[in-house]
C-alpha cells in the first residue's frame, strides 16, 4: 500500500507540472489575449501591392523614380503632419526632465526617485513625473537658474529658457550591423569590430551594437529667415513655433535626426504608460519608409498622380486641393500663403490630410538615384546611418509630398526629392508610422479606423 501511495503521489505531481496537457505540445500558457488598437491620431493602412514610381511625365528628366511593383505590409500612419503643439509636448518633456534632474541633484523636493520600494539603489535614477515643478518657487528658482539664458544674453531682460540646453539622450540598436548587413566596415564609434563585418557571429557583447545619441530638440526657428535671403519672414521666426495661433500648423525647422528622436520619445511615452497599466508594449513609432509613404499617399488609387486621383489640382467647384505654389509669385490662389492648419483640404482615401503640399515630409529612406534598381520588392527600404564626418552625399534622406513653396510637380505621389539629415527647413516636417503586428485586419474596411 505504501508503494502504491508513493506512485500515485509522483503521478499527481508530474500531472500538475505539465498543467494537464497529457504530455502533448501545447505551447506556453497562459498567454494574454492580444488586440492591437489604433494609436491615437493614426489611421490603419492595409497591406497591399502597387506600382511605385512616376505616374506622369518625368518633367526634369531626373530618371530617379522609375516604375516598380512592390508590396507593403500593414501599418498605421498619423492622419496629419506632426503639429507645433504636438512637437511642443516633446520639447516640454525634455525641459521638465532636465529640470527634474537639476532639482533631484540639489535635493529639492522629490523630483528624482533614487531607491525602489525595497531600498535598492536605482541607477540611473527615475524621474518622478508626479511631482510638479514650481518654476517660480523660492526653493527651486535658484536651482533652475542654469536652465535660463544668462543675463547678458537676454533681450529686454526677459527670462527665457536656454534652448541650447534642451538635449535628449536616447539609444538604439544597429540591427544591420549586428546582422552583418551594415553596408560598410563597422566604425569604432559604433562598435569595436572594425574589419570584422560579420555581425553578432563571434561577438558576445551586445553593447557593441547599442548606439547612443544626444540631440538638441528645439526646432530651428531661424529657418524662416535663412531659407529665403531676400524675403521678410521675421514674424514667422518670432512667433511660429510658440504662439497659440500656430498650434495646429505643422512643425518645421526640424532635422531628420530630430524627427527620429521625437519618435523614440513618443515610443517611450506610450510604452511607459502601457507597462504601468499592465499592458504589453507594441511596436515603436518611426518615420515611414519611402515605399510606405507613397503607398499611403495614393489612398488606394494606384497609378494616379495625386493623393486625390488626378489629373487636376482643383475640384469641380474650382477649389484647390492642396497647399502649394500655383504659379510664379502667387502663393495664395490655393487659399494659403505659407503653411496652413494640418487638417486643411480634403483627406485622401485613407483619411490622411495634406499628403500633398503644406510641408514636405521626412522619410526613413536614404536617398540614392538608383534605389529602385536594387531595393527588394517586399517592403523596399534603403537605410544608411551617416556619421558626422561622412560626406554630404551619404547624409541625403528622401522627402516626399512637396510643400507650400513648391510647384505642383513636387506634389505628385511618385516624385522623389531629398534633403540632408542634419539640415532644417521651414518647408519640411514629418509624420509618424507604426508597424501592424500580424497579417492585417479583416472584416469591413469601414470599421478599421
Class of the CATH domain delimited by 1-83+247-449: alpha beta
Q: Which residues have C-beta within 8 Å of that of residue 349, sequence separation ≥ 6?
A: 298, 299, 300, 301, 307
Question: What is residue 74's predicted lDDT score, i.e. its pLDDT?
Answer: 96
Domain edges within the chain: 1-83+247-449
* SS3 per residue for the chain: CHHHHHHHHHHHHHHHHCCCCCCCCCCCCCCCCCCCCCCCCEEEECCEEEEECCCCCCCCCCCCCCCEEEEECCEEEECCCCEHHHHHHHHHHHHHHHHHHHHHHHCCCCCEEEECCCCCEEEEEEECCCCCCCCCCHHHHCCCHHHECCHHHCCCCCCCECHHHCEEEEEEECHHHHCCCCCCCCCCCCCCCCCCCCCCCCCCCHHHHEEEEEEECCCCCCHHHHCCCCCCCHHHHHHCCCCHHHCCCECCCCCHHHHHHHHHHHHHHHHHHHHHCCCCCCCCEECCCHHHHHHHHHCCCCCCCECCECCCCECCCCCECCECCCECCECCCCCCCCCCCCCCCCCCCCCCCCCCECCEEEEEEECCCCHHHHCCCECCCCCCCCCCCCCHHHHEEEEECCCCCCCHHHHCCCCCEEEECCCCCCCEECCCEEECCCCCCCCCHHHCC
d(CA 300, CA 173): 34
How far is Cα 118 from Cα 375, in angstroms, rounded to an integer? 52
Per-block average pLDDT, block size 10, for the chain (449 residues)?
Answer: 53 51 84 84 96 82 82 97 97 90 67 75 70 71 83 89 93 86 48 42 75 95 94 94 96 97 95 84 92 97 91 86 89 89 95 97 96 92 90 96 94 94 97 93 74
Residue for grid cell 558626422: 388
**Residue-level pLDDT at 367:** 96
Q: What is the pLDDT of residue 375?
A: 92
pLDDT at position 83 is 98
pLDDT of residue 37: 85
Distance separating alpha carbons of residues 247 and 245, to the nearest angstrom: 6
- What distance in Å separates the CA atoms of residue 217 and residue 264, rounded to the nearest whole number? 12
> From CA 161, how far away is CA 145, in angstroms rounded?
9
Q: How far apart are CA 250 and CA 341, in angstroms?
A: 7
Grid coordinates belonging to 163: 534652448
CA 340 – CA 81 distance, rounded (Å): 11
The structure's pTM equals 0.87
pLDDT at 195: 40
Name residue 148's beta-bridge partners: 161
Amino acid at each position: 500500500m505504501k508503494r502504491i501511495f508513493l506512485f500515485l503521489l509522483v503521478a499527481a505531481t508530474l500531472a500538475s507540472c505539465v498543467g494537464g496537457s497529457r504530455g502533448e505540445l501545447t505551447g506556453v500558457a497562459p498567454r494574454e489575449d492580444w488586440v492591437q488598437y489604433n494609436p491615437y491620431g493614426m489611421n490603419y493602412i492595409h497591406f497591399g501591392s502597387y506600382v511605385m514610381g512616376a505616374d506622369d511625365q518625368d518633367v526634369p528628366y531626373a530618371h530617379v523614380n522609375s516604375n516598380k511593383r512592390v508590396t507593403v505590409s500593414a501599418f498605421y500612419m498619423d492622419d496629419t503632419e506632426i503639429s507645433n503643439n504636438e512637437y511642443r509636448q516633446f520639447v516640454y518633456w525634455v525641459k521638465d526632465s532636465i529640470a527634474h534632474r537639476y532639482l533631484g541633484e540639489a535635493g529639492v523636493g522629490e523630483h528624482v526617485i533614487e531607491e525602489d520600494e525595497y531600498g535598492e539603489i536605482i541607477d540611473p535614477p527615475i524621474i518622478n513625473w508626479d511631482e510638479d515643478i514650481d518654476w517660480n518657487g523660492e526653493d527651486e528658482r535658484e536651482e533652475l537658474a542654469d536652465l535660463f539664458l544668462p543675463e547678458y544674453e537676454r533681450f529686454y531682460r526677459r527670462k527665457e529658457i536656454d534652448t541650447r540646453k534642451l538635449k535628449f539622450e536616447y539609444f538604439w540598436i544597429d540591427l544591420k550591423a549586428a546582422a552583418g548587413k551594415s553596408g560598410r566596415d563597422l566604425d569604432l564609434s559604433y562598435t569595436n569590430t572594425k574589419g570584422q563585418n560579420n555581425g553578432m557571429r563571434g561577438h558576445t557583447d551586445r553593447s557593441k551594437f547599442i548606439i547612443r545619441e544626444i540631440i538638441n530638440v528645439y526646432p530651428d526657428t531661424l529657418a524662416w529667415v535663412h531659407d529665403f535671403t531676400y524675403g521678410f519672414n521675421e514674424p514667422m521666426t518670432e512667433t511660429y513655433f510658440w504662439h497659440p495661433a500656430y498650434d495646429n500648423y505643422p512643425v518645421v525647422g526640424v532635422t531628420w535626426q530630430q524627427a527620429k528622436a521625437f519618435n523614440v520619445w513618443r515610443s517611450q511615452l506610450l510604452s511607459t504608460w502601457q507597462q504601468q497599466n499592465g499592458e504589453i508594449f507594441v511596436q515603436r513609432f518611426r518615420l515611414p519608409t519611402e515605399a510606405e509613404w507613397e503607398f499611403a499617399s495614393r489612398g488606394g488609387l494606384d497609378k494616379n498622380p495625386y493623393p486625390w486621383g488626378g489629373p487636376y489640382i482643383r475640384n469641380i467647384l474650382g477649389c484647390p486641393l492642396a497647399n502649394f505654389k500655383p504659379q510664379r509669385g502667387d502663393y495664395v490662389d490655393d487659399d494659403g500663403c505659407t503653411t496652413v492648419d494640418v487638417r486643411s483640404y480634403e483627406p485622401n482615401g485613407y483619411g490622411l490630410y495634406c499628403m500633398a503640399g503644406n510641408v514636405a515630409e521626412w522619410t526613413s529612406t536614404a536617398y540614392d538615384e538608383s534605389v529602385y534598381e536594387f531595393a527588394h520588392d517586399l517592403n523596399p527600404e534603403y537605410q544608411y546611418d551617416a556619421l558626422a564626418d561622412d560626406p554630404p552625399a551619404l547624409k541625403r534622406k528622401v522627402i516626399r509630398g512637396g510643400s507650400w513653396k513648391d510647384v505642383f510637380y513636387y506634389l505628385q505621389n511618385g516624385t522623389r526629392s531629398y534633403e540632408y539629415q542634419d539640415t532644417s527647413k521651414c518647408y519640411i516636417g514629418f509624420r509618424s508610422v507604426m508597424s501592424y503586428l500580424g497579417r492585417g485586419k479583416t472584416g469591413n474596411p469601414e470599421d478599421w479606423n
